[in-house]
Amino acid sequence: MVDVILGLQWGDEGKGKIVDYFAKNYDLIARFQGGPNAGHTLYVNDKKIVLHQIPSGIFHEQKINLIGNGVVLDPVTLKKECEAVASFGVDYQKSLFISERTHLILPTHRALDKASELSKGNDKIGSTLKGIGPAYMDKTGRNGLRVGDLLDKNFTTQYIKLRMKHQRLLDNFNFQEEISQWEEEFFDAIDFLKNLNIVNGEYFINDKIKKGMRVLAEGAQGSMLDVDFGTFPFVTSSSTISAGVCSGLGVAPQKIKDVIGITKAYCTRVGSGPFPTELTDATGDFLRNAGNEFGSTTGRPRRCGWIDLVALNFACMINGVTQIVMTKADILDSLEELMVCKNYLINGKESNVVPFQMNRMKIEAAYESFKGWNTDISKISSFEEMPQAMKTYINYINQYLGVPVKYISNGPGREQIVSIK
């Protein structure tokens, strides 16, 4: 069977640590979508490492890690990641596998990404400029190159043809020097990638399932950035929800069992787009600084706000979430009062529905107030020890969502997770 771990907000929920925590219970960990715009932060032997494309189970011995066909892969980033992982003593040559159907991010994709943002002026989406969007556009436009194409003797010819198509779209931009520099790194990384374990991903993973192996599917970004169900057009270019597991790995829906959703105890967002509970005051600054809310991939400061249960309920619904992990609960330790968004006020009317086009209307958050717990919870190891004010906060969220919070992360450490029986 396949269990899924994914984000329920706008990404940055701390998925890397949670996948790493759960990985010991699984045989195979697989990334099913996204690209190097994702940054999953882990602490291994008290040392920080950020993974962008390699599944977060890579630091567990005897585990298989698969990059699925739903991912768009940057060979340059992958090479650097492999070198970083190897510095921790991990033999990625044995444990890392890549689906041959995985699409490649080319140097010209990065240029197209940059050109697209420049042309939008003040209406920028907030792209990380990693080439993810253009790579997915080529995939759906049936123009892309895939990892399996690397093994074809005509790969360079195919690359040149696609580069020329891209170049026609870049005539108004002077990116030639940048593209040439990127290409030098790209072809060096391509030679590296050819020597990794390239497999027929869908047969590979289904064979393991048939043998009784437990699979954990790892998502990137968050549900509110899903290309269909997120805050369009301020979204990513892939299916970040549980349905994306099937198309991103080649597994059937009935193979999916548990969907583990991750939410912060508050809310953050990087880049542009609607954010009903955003705080632009001292409390927002406090959450940003206390939670170190700066993008692990870009370093950009994250917008911060109170937890949004309307959006969270929506994400639980479309994902079929069976249990929740709440991260960064310790960041709220010193706050006197906590607020929880229970409804939206749209044109003066209360609503508990995420509207079709959030950026076309003025949405105000209607809040429920809670007393803060004013206790350092970072060393607490059981839910029974948690302060009553925190239990009240969690119980309200459980009742609202109808899905239980089963785990609480109370610090950045690998084992700082409290299980709720």
Element (H, E) at 87: none
Q: What is the pLDDT of residue 100?
A: 98
* pLDDT exceeds 70 at position 13: yes
Q: What is the pLDDT of residues 138-183, one digit of tens each?
A: 999 999 999 999 999 999 999 999 999 998 888 888 888 888 889 9
Q: What's the CA gap between 415 and 237, in Å, rounded?
A: 33
Q: What is the pLDDT of residues 38-52, one digit of tens each?
A: 777 777 777 788 889
In the residue annotation, 12 being an active-site residue is answered as: yes
pLDDT classification of 137: cutoffs 50, 70, 90: very high
Q: Residue 224 carries which side chain, given as an amino acid letter?
A: M
DSSP tag of 300: P
Residues 6 or more apart in contact with residue 339 via CB below 8 angstroms? 277, 306, 367, 368, 369, 370
CATH numbers and ranges of domains, the chain: 2-102+198-259 (3.40.440.10), 104-194 (1.10.300.10), 264-419 (3.90.170.10)
pLDDT classification of 416: cutoffs 50, 70, 90: very high
Do the Cβ atoms of 123 and 75 come closer than 8 Å? no
Q: What is the pLDDT of residue 215?
A: 98
Q: Exactly one of 3, 12, 20, 330 is catalytic; which is it?
A: 12
Q: What is the pTM of this model?
A: 0.93
Q: Exactly one of 40, 52, 109, 166 is catalytic; which is it?
A: 40
Give the CA dihedral 8, 9, 11, 14, nearest 10 degrees.
Answer: -60
- DSSP 3-state percent helix, strand, coil across the chain (nearest 5): 40, 25, 40
* pLDDT exceeds 90 at position 134: yes
Beta pairing class for 2-7 and 215-218? parallel
Q: What is the pLDDT of residue 123?
A: 65
Q: What's the CA gap between 181 and 186, in Å, rounded?
A: 9
Q: What is the pLDDT of residue 179?
A: 86
* pLDDT exceeds 80 at position 331: yes
What is the side-by-side order of every strand in the sheet holding 417-419? 197-199, 96-99, 64-67, 28-31, 215-218, 2-7, 256-264, 323-327, 405-409, 417-419
Classify residue 347 as left (phi > 0), alpha (psi -120 to 50) or beta.
Answer: left
Q: What is the pLDDT of residue 230?
A: 96
Burial grade of 232 (CB within 10 A; 0-12, 13-18, 19 or more): middle
Q: What's the CA gap between 153 and 172, in Å, rounded?
A: 33
Q: What's the CA gap between 171 and 184, in Å, rounded?
A: 21
Q: What's the CA gap between 100 and 201, in Å, rounded?
A: 7
Taking CA 366 as the corner, what is the angle to CA 356 and CA 307, rounded to the nearest 5 degrees? 80
In the residue annotation, 40 being an active-site residue is answered as: yes
Q: What average pLDDT is seen over the chain?
A: 93
Q: Can you tell me whether residue 8 is helix, strand or coil?
A: coil
* pLDDT exceeds 80 at position 84: yes
Q: What is the pLDDT of residue 45?
A: 74
Q: Which two tokens stand for residue 249?
A: 């790995």
* pLDDT exceeds 90 at position 127: no
* pLDDT exceeds 70 at position 305: yes
Q: Helices (H), strands (E): how many in the chain?
A: 12, 20
Beta bridge partners of 245: none
Q: Can you tell me whether residue 230 is helix, strand or coil?
A: coil
* pLDDT exceeds 70 at position 64: yes
Q: What is the pLDDT of residue 121?
A: 63
Q: Which two tokens stand for residue 212?
A: 């009784």
Q: What is the pLDDT of residue 315?
A: 98
Q: What is the pLDDT of residues 333-354, one digit of tens each?
A: 999 999 999 999 998 899 999 9
Q: Which two tokens stand for residue 270?
A: 């990087």
